[in-house]
């Protein structure tokens, strides 16, 4: 038998049929057309029964709109005074019997004189001098407060606290020092520097000495300052009272 086929008759044709994916594509196309038609119908007729979210149905389910009722004020109450005339009945007068005059047999005591307030242990004297006595090299370019502290027998008292309080050149002052720190004034000398230019002030500063517990040993000694080079040092000398 020869390996070549010399039969020229045509091969039989297979029957044509739709594939599975073709059917699925047709179904999807039809479903898409239906959905698009549904949305177009809802858009054109939003209140139709096919629209589950129609405005008419939603407005029917909303609660009723509250109505605001204006509060009515009560009618103004008018006070009607009642005129009642009362007739006062005078009570009978009562005459007091004279009270007996008491005689005191006790000699009245002598009214005591008011006690004097004890004065502070130390008193002070204030003088205003030229600062060149203490600081000759500074001339008029200095202003301050200085002095000494002595006991009743004029013996210098060392390490006594001195406080300066008040206002100077629109600034507050609250400074402490001790006696014997400025020997130019004496063994118990002390000093406070105020400024380089003498200025004028009236009683805005006061100086006081204190004990070791911080209690005052003197009254508040008020100090003036002058814009005068001959009075730019306030010299305050404390002395113990006898």
CA-to-CA distance for 185 and 165, rounded, in angstroms?
A: 21
Residues 43 and 134 grouped into a single domain: no
Alpha-carbon distance values, 157 to 55, 134, 186, 241 (Å): 105, 20, 10, 13
Q: What are phi and psi of 108, to 5 degrees?
A: -60, 140
Residue 223 half-sphere exposure toward CB, CA atoms < 13 A: 34
Contact yes or no for 186/236 (Cβ under 8 A): no
Tokens representing 19?
Answer: 């594939």
Global pTM reads 0.52
Residues 130 and 232 grouped into a single domain: yes
Tokens representing 30?
Answer: 């039809």
Contact yes or no for 41/32 (Cβ under 8 A): no
Q: Which residues span the domain enclosing 217?
A: 122-240
Q: What digits encode the pLDDT tens for the residues 156-202?
A: 999 999 999 999 999 999 999 999 999 999 999 999 999 999 999 99
Q: How confident is the model at residue 45 (pLDDT cuts 50, 70, 90)?
A: confident
Residues 132 and 236 grouped into a single domain: yes
Residues 29 and 135 grouped into a single domain: no
41 occurs within a structural domain: yes
115 occurs within a structural domain: no
179 occurs within a structural domain: yes
Residues 53 and 127 grouped into a single domain: no
191 occurs within a structural domain: yes
Average pLDDT, the chain: 82
The per-residue pLDDT for 104 is: 57
Q: What digits encode the pLDDT tens for the residues 209-229?
A: 999 999 999 999 999 999 999
Contact yes or no for 208/216 (Cβ under 8 A): yes
State the total domains in the chain.
Answer: 2
214 occurs within a structural domain: yes
Residues 223 and 126 grouped into a single domain: yes
147 occurs within a structural domain: yes
CATH classification at residue 192 = 2.60.40.10
Q: How confident is the model at residue 15 (pLDDT cuts 50, 70, 90)?
A: very low
């Amino acid at each position: 038998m020869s390996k070549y086929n010399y039969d020229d008759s045509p091969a039989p044709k297979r029957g044509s049929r739709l594939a599975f994916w073709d059917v699925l594509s047709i179904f999807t196309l039809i479903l898409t057309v239906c959905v698009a038609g549904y949305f177009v119908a809802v858009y054109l007729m939003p209140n139709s029964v096919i629209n589950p979210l129609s405005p008419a149905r939603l407005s029917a389910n909303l609660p009723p709109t509250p109505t605001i009722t204006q509060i009515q004020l009560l009618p103004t109450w008018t006070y009607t005074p009642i005129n009642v005339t009362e007739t006062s009945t005078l009570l009978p007068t009562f005459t007091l019997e004279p009270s007996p005059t008491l005689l005191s047999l006790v000699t009245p005591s002598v009214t005591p004189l008011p006690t004097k307030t004890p004065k502070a242990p130390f008193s002070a004297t204030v003088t205003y001098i030229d600062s060149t006595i203490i600081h000759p090299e500074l001339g008029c370019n200095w202003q301050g407060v200085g002095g000494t502290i002595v006991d009743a027998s004029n013996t210098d008292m060392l390490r006594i606290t001195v406080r300066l309080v008040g206002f100077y050149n629109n600034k507050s002052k609250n400074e402490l020092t001790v006696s014997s720190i400025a020997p130019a004034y004496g063994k118990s000398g002390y000093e406070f520097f105020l400024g380089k230019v003498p200025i004028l002030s009236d009683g805005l500063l006061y100086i006081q000495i204190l004990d070791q517990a911080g209690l005052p040993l003197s009254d508040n000694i008020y100090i003036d300052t002058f814009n005068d080079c001959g009075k730019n040092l306030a010299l305050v000398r404390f002395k113990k009272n006898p």
